[in-house]
Amino acid sequence: MIRDHLVAHEWQNAQQETLGTVTLVYNHHIRQLSEKLVELQHHYYHSILAATHVHLDHNLCAEVILIRAPAMQIQQLADHLRQQKGVLHATLSISSTGVHLA
């Protein structure tokens, strides 16, 4: 619980390098949505550590994106991804690089 408070404090400093995970559920049949999501990820290529794509069924996909960047940049990317037409759900999970937790 104390570490959760420390992580939240790190995220209050918009320039503090942090770790975040964006989870998306989206309909891949929406015109050009997959291309837009990839384009956004390429724009943040320097911050994205990994991305995993899963086919949930014939229409739906899930994507989990691990990002290491200043808190403000992670929030911006999450917001841009969330705003795309066809994204049914998007969530941002905040964490820490661990530097200030030891």
Q: What is the DSSP string of 2-65?
A: HHHHHHHHHHHSTTSEEEEEEEEEEETTSTTHHHHHHHHHHHTTTTEEEEEEEE-SSSEEEEEE
Q: Classify domain 2-95 by CATH architecture.
A: 2-Layer Sandwich (3.30)
Q: Where are the domains of the chain?
A: 2-95
Provide the whole-model pTM.
0.89
Look at residue 21 in the predicted model and tell me its pLDDT: 98
Q: Would you state the pLDDT for residue 29? A: 95
pLDDT score for 1: 73
pLDDT string in tens for the chain (102-residue length)? 777 777 777 677 778 899 999 999 999 999 999 999 999 999 999 999 999 999 999 999 999 999 999 999 999 999 999 999 999 999 999 887 777 767
What burial letters (b/e) apply to 41-54, b meaning 16+ CB within 10 Å? Answer: beebeebbeeeeee
Q: Please give the pLDDT value at position 99.
A: 76
Q: In this structure, how many other beta carbons lie within 10 angstroms of the beta carbon of residue 91?
A: 11
- Rounded to the nearest 10 degrees, what angle do helices 71-82 and 33-43 cross at? 170
